[in-house]
Amino acid sequence: MQRRKFLQGTGLSLAMLATSNNNALAKLLMQPAYKFTPLRNDVGIFTEQGGTVAWLSNTSGMVVVDTQFVDQATHLIAELKKISSKPINFLINTHHHADHTGGNLAFKGLAEKVVGHANCLANHQKIASAQKSQDKQLFADTVFQDQWKAKVGTERIQAHYFGAGHTNGDIVVHFENANIAHMGDLMFNKRFPFIDRAGGANIQSWINVLDKTVAKFDKDTLFVFGHSADPLKVTGGKEEIRAMQNYLEKLLSFVNNEIKAGKSKEDVLKAQSIPGAEDFQGQGIQRSLTAAFEELTMGS
């Protein structure tokens, strides 16, 4: 629950709290709703509303991965300006969804280059055109197919495309010296994922993408997750990636067995959990079941 809604619901105001005896509570509620958190080697994360953002700030420049929405991006920019006056060399989008690119516009005139996979740009433009919201977007001007590399000061950045997953344009962004890899929405940590078939998602390919991820990075890599059931657990290691992979495998297996048993789509959608992956939770299991049913009956 956001603090603003809490205050509205209780009939309290920050001004009233500030003059009350409970100064500690007043100070807590007056803190920003977002978190700007350094991780290691000049790389950190920003969380507020939307997909987790990663940032780099060193003596040579800055890099931002994903932007949430405009209001949140404005908060992020303000925090970055507190720690550096260096330019934002690169804004990188892990994929096209609005909770990852909606804040791009706040970086217009600040980010020297906007980077994304070619499919990310195509999806972003398609959605904006359908919604007639092109004027509210900042699209990628630097696109790639398999891999993109750059260097900012002593930090080397690589973006990898391992295939379709959550969409057909998801990338993994690796800060090599810090050994931090932003997974975007290839990772929903113990939370039912959104599987965007209209955006090119493919569950079997997603499983393979996570295989490639585990093989590519070492045991010390710190992974940043797009979303998490526990909002405090948006970073982790290969254990969480394997759990995500297990969920997707069990999802396909369960739905496939239901189809073979003659179950209808309506019957399949009645499931409240995925056998063998009960640790995944939250809202949206029907989206997973629908995507798996369609993939297995209609193809990719």
With respect to residue 87, please indicate whether it lies within any of the assigned structural domains: yes
- Copy the structure tokens of residue 232: 């405090």
Cβ burial 64-73 (10 Å sphere, 16+ → b, else e): bbbbbbeebb
| Least confident range of 2-6, 190-194, 253-257, 260-264 | 2-6
Give pLDDT tens digits for 199-247. Answer: 999 999 999 999 999 999 999 999 999 999 999 999 999 999 999 999 9
Check if the beta carbon of residue 185 is closer than 8 Å to that of residue 95. Answer: yes
Segments forming the whole domain that contains residue 165: 31-298
With respect to residue 17, please indicate whether it lies within any of the assigned structural domains: no
Q: Within a 10 A sphere around the Cβ of 244, how many other Cβ atoms?
A: 24
Check if the beta carbon of residue 257 is closer than 8 Å to that of residue 292. Answer: no
Check if the beta carbon of residue 139 is closer than 8 Å to that of residue 114. Answer: yes
With respect to residue 270, please indicate whether it lies within any of the assigned structural domains: yes
With respect to residue 18, please indicate whether it lies within any of the assigned structural domains: no
With respect to residue 6, please indicate whether it lies within any of the assigned structural domains: no
Cβ burial 104-120 (10 Å sphere, 16+ → b, else e): bebbeebbeebbbbebb
Give pLDDT tens digits for 174-203. Answer: 999 999 999 999 999 999 999 999 999 999
With respect to residue 226, please indicate whether it lies within any of the assigned structural domains: yes
Q: For position 260, which CATH number holds?
A: 3.60.15.10
- Copy the structure tokens of residue 13: 């105001």
With respect to residue 50, please indicate whether it lies within any of the assigned structural domains: yes
- Copy the structure tokens of residue 140: 């990628």
With respect to residue 82, please indicate whether it lies within any of the assigned structural domains: yes
* Three-class secondary structure of residue 1 per DSSP: coil
Number of domains in the chain: 1
Give pLDDT tens digits for 28-77. Answer: 444 568 999 999 999 999 999 999 999 999 999 999 999 999 999 999 99
Determine if the pTM surpasses 0.85.
yes
